């Protein structure tokens, strides 16, 4: 149900993980939640949500066949290593094709989740409607999930900045209607992201309002001098007469101290 998806989303997407294997497992879990939120926004019936969720858990299964010396590499990948990584879509398709009779979308999503609207993706350079809808949804969720968590080769972006990046990509990599649904479901300031208010205090978003996406509910963490607040009050900005968000904040910039 939508409420169950929302509760699971809030409890899992705030998790932290450092090891490469932990990253892959938690990333798949988060992508499933993001995908189900998009599917809910698209009014998918229960049966399609179940199929979408299963595809989102298994779409990257081919990645586990890539040597950890490559997936865990902290430096820039070589051209040969990039070619090897890109093979995970074909590997995933081959692994999941045995379930085609009951779940025909699993292997197709594994194969197409890196395809992009403008044809710049891989492995086949598909465009527009040639990409299956589940693969578009999961590709979008995968991109967002990769942005907001540390990888061996790249530091995470703050969730607010990742949302801005996705909006910038809407006319090239993903259809705009899917990004709109994603924004409607996630909010401009996603749960778990950090924001600064006009009183210069900073806090973490704990819930959003679809009617007023710029006015989330925030648990305040630091005062205007960057000092930790002892009680961490919760402020519902929707309807608040004075306070509002002025900016998103990266985790590293939470406190000047």
Q: CA angle 202-220-196, nearest 5°?
A: 20
pLDDT of residue 214: 82
CA distances from 192 to 10, 15, 81, 177, 218 (A): 8, 10, 33, 24, 10
Identify which of 217, 218, 222, 224 has the alpha carbon closest to the alpha carbon of residue 200.
Answer: 224
**Predicted local confidence at residue 149, as pLDDT:** 60
Nearest in space to 185 (alpha carbons), one of 238, 119, 246, 140: 140
Rounded to the nearest 5°, which phi and psi values hold at 16?
-115, 150
Element (H, E) at 68: helix 68-71
Residues with Cβ within 8 Å of 228's Cβ and at least 6 positions away in sequence, in order, are 221, 222, 255
Helix (H, G, I), strand (E, B) or coil at 89: helix
Cα 190 to Cα 155: distance, rounded to the nearest angstrom: 19
Output the tens digit of pLDDT for each of the chain's 257 residues.
444 444 444 444 434 333 355 667 888 888 999 999 999 999 999 999 999 999 999 999 998 899 888 887 878 889 999 999 999 999 999 999 999 999 999 999 999 999 999 999 999 999 999 999 999 999 999 988 877 665 544 444 455 556 677 777 666 889 989 988 988 887 778 788 888 999 999 999 998 887 887 889 999 999 998 899 998 999 999 989 899 988 888 777 775 55
pLDDT at residue 171 in the model: 67
Residue 169: name the closest of 136, 129, 213 by CA.
136
The pLDDT score that the predictor gives to residue 56 is 96
Stated pTM of the model = 0.75
DSSP run (H or E) holding 52: helix 46-58
Which DSSP state fits 121?
-
């Amino acid at each position: 149900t939508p409420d169950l998806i929302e509760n699971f989303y809030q409890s899992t997407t705030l998790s932290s993980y450092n090891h490469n294997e932990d990253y892959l497992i938690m990333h798949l879990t988060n992508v499933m939640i993001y995908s189900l939120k998009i599917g809910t926004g698209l009014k998918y019936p229960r049966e399609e949500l179940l199929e979408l969720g299963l595809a989102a858990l298994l779409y990257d299964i081919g990645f586990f066949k890539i040597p950890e010396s490559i997936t865990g590499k902290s430096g820039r990948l070589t051209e040969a290593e990039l070619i090897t990584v890109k093979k995970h879509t074909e590997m995933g398709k081959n692994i999941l094709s045995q379930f085609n009779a009951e779940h025909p979308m699993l292997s197709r999503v594994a194969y197409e989740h890196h395809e992009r609207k403008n044809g710049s993706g891989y492995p086949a350079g598909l465009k527009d409607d040639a990409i299956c809808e589940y693969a578009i949804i999961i590709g979008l969720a995968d991109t967002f999930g990769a942005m907001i968590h540390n990888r061996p080769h790249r530091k995470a972006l703050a969730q607010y900045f990742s949302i801005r990046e996705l909006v910038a990509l809407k006319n090239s990599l993903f259809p705009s209607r899917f990004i709109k649904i994603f924004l409607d479901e996630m909010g401009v300031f996603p749960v778990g992201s950090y924001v600064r208010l006009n009183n210069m205090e900073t806090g973490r978003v704990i819930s959003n309002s679809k009617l007023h996406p710029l006015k989330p509910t925030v648990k305040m963490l630091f005062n205007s001098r960057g000092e930790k607040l002892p009680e961490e009050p919760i402020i519902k900005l929707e309807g608040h007469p004075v306070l509002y968000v002025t900016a998103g904040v990266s985790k590293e910039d939470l406190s000047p101290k």
